[in-house]
């Protein structure tokens, strides 16, 4: 393999840029391919949402070093940034540093990764062959050779469906429903005095419920229904006052209060079997036989990784979680909350294909417990291994509050909160 070739990083989000910063530390060439038009393009889709983890947990040490050398000032470490602030105050300045900017290509959608001159079946001399990354840039098809791959493309663009069986049974529905955290206050016409259903039990769903409840204060005819597969919403409220992250705990407590006051109607268990969209309304039918009609549908059921462009790469995923088999036992949502994930690094993120890694939220597969600071530690360890710094790669350390850091919407300012 040609060692002078760059490490190709897929995705110019927080974890992808952190990987680049660590590669700069080791003086290893790199190339970032970003599908969107700008840095942090996925984050900007929920830019109005406030993270419940403070700045302290949302910046990477290698990136900080590069930025401070250019005169950048770190935001107040105790402040909770919005997604937009995370991009504008951290990711954008980082992306504009010459060493990053000169090695980043936007509007570059990766469509396939291969080994030079060998398909997936061929083993002979495989580890000595370069990677070849095929990508689209507008109407043109391009390719670049690489010494290693760090896939930090995320999973935001691949949302889970509302159906209990895990399939998008109607592909057109995906374009009609809201699969993000809608900026309800900025687009009230879509929701005011309407009946909106929120499907999901995670922090994105809780954010959406809080936003709709705030809208209801101004437009009392607004109706909010919360659809859950589980028997009760109790576990969705989280640690509340026991949470070491005040914003996340307050989110759960606030939604509990909305439920107790009858502002949010809970339908549980409700396993969505069919959704009919005739005219302006959606009719949801559960597998239990219940039928409910609503005006708007917010599907906050998480996301899953897209492995489609990895068909020719030898990757291995757990059959349940869809992370690496070594990582899966550490992040199984049936066993772990955000703060209980044990530290892990390059060793747990290895795939059968040497020098190929998936990092960031995509590395967690379908598990909902990913933390941004975890992604930073992942790429620090991965890059150390690529550089041959075995000792640094193995010294995995992770500083987290005991109860974790994920997504929320909160506090007296009535702002919304999201993922750390």
Which domains, from first to last, does the chain contain?
A: 7-157+303-394 (3.50.50.60), 171-301 (3.50.50.60)
Contacts with 98 (C-beta within 8 Å, 6 or more apart), sequence order: none
Q: How far is CA 100 from the centre of its chain?
A: 22
pLDDT tens for each residue of 122-131: 999 999 999 9
- Mean pLDDT, rounded, for 261-273: 96
Q: Are 342 and 407 in contact (CB under 8 A)?
A: no
> What is the model's pLDDT at position 171?
81
Please give the DSSP secondary-structure letter assigned to residue 411. T
- Confidence grade of residue 399 (pLDDT, cut at 50, 70, 90): low
> What is the model's pLDDT at position 407?
41
| Average pLDDT of the residues of the chain | 91
Question: Cα separations (Å) of 248 from 80, 301, 302?
Answer: 11, 18, 17
> What is the model's pLDDT at position 232?
81
Residue of 298, 296, 85 whose CA lies nearest to 180: 298
> What is the model's pLDDT at position 411?
37
**How many Å apart are CA 12 and CA 8, to the nearest integer?**
11
Q: b vs e for 206-229, b when ≥16 Cβ sit within 10 Å of the residue's Cβ?
A: bbbbbbbbebbeeeeebbbbbbbb
> What is the model's pLDDT at position 259?
94
Q: Decide if pLDDT at 410 tops 90.
A: no
Q: Decide if pLDDT at 95 tops 80.
A: yes
Largest CA distance in the chain: 68
- How do beta strands 281-286 and 291-294 pair? antiparallel
> What is the model's pLDDT at position 74?
98
Q: Decide if pLDDT at 334 tops 90.
A: no
- How do beta strands 296-299 and 195-199 pair? parallel
**How many Å apart are CA 46 and CA 419, to the nearest integer?**
10
Hey, which residues does 82 pair with through a beta bridge? 50
**The pTM is what?**
0.91
pLDDT tens for each residue of 300-310: 999 999 999 99
> What is the model's pLDDT at position 279?
83
Question: Cα separations (Å) of 241 from 60, 247, 252, 349, 362?
Answer: 29, 10, 9, 34, 30
| Neighbour-count burial of 143, counting CB atoms closer than 10 A to its CB (0-12 exposed, 13-18 middle, 19+ buried) | middle
Q: In what order do the strands lie in the sheet with 291-294?
A: 272-278, 281-286, 291-294
- Mean pLDDT, rounded, for 61-71: 98
- 6-10, 124-128, 321-325, 398-402: least confidently modelled range: 398-402
């Amino acid at each position: 393999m040609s060692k002078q070739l760059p490490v190709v990083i897929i995705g110019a989000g927080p974890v992808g840029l952190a990987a680049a910063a660590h590669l700069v530390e080791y003086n290893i060439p790199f190339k970032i391919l970003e599908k969107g038009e700008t840095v942090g393009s996925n984050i900007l889709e929920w830019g109005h949402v406030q993270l419940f983890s403070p700045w302290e947990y949302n910046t990477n040490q290698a990136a900080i070093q590069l930025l401070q050398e250019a005169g950048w000032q770190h935001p107040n470490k105790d402040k909770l940034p919005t997604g937009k602030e995370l991009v504008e105050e951290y990711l954008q300045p980082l992306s504009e540093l010459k060493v990053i900017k000169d090695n980043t290509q936007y509007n570059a959608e990766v469509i396939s990764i291969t080994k030079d001159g060998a398909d997936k079946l061929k083993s002979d001399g495989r580890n000595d062959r370069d990677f070849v990354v095929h990508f689209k840039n507008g109407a043109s098809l391009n390719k670049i050779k690489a010494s290693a791959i760090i896939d930090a493309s995320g999973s935001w663009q691949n949302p889970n469906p509302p159906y209990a069986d895990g399939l998008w049974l109607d592909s057109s529905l995906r374009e009609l429903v809201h699969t993000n955290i809608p900026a309800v206050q900025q687009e009230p016409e879509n929701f005011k005095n309407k009946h909106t259903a929120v499907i999901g039990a995670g922090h994105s769903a809780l954010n959406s419920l809080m936003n709709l409840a705030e809208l209801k204060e101004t437009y009392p005819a607004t109706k909010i229904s919360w659809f859950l597969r589980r028997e009760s919403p109790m576990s969705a409220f989280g640690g509340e006052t026991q949470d070491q992250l005040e914003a996340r705990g307050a989110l759960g407590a606030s939604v509990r209060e909305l439920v107790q006051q009858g502002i949010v109607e809970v339908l549980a268990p409700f396993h969505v079997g069919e959704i009919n969209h005739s005219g302006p309304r959606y009719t949801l039918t559960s597998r239990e036989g219940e039928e409910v009609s609503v005006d708007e549908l917010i599907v906050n059921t998480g996301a899953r990784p897209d492995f489609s462009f990895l068909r020719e790469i030898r990757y291995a995923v757990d059959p349940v979680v869809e992370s690496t088999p070594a990582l899966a036992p550490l992040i199984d949502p049936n066993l772990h909350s955000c703060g209980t994930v044990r530290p892990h690094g390059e060793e747990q993120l290895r795939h059968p294909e040497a020098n190929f890694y998936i990092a960031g939220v995509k590395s967690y597969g379908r598990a909902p417990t990913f933390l941004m600071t975890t992604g930073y530690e992942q790429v620090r360890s991965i890059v150390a291994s690529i550089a041959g710094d075995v000792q640094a790669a193995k010294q995995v350390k992770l500083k987290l509050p005991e109860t974790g850091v994920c997504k929320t919407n909160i506090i007296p300012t009535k702002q919304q909160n999201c993922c750390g």
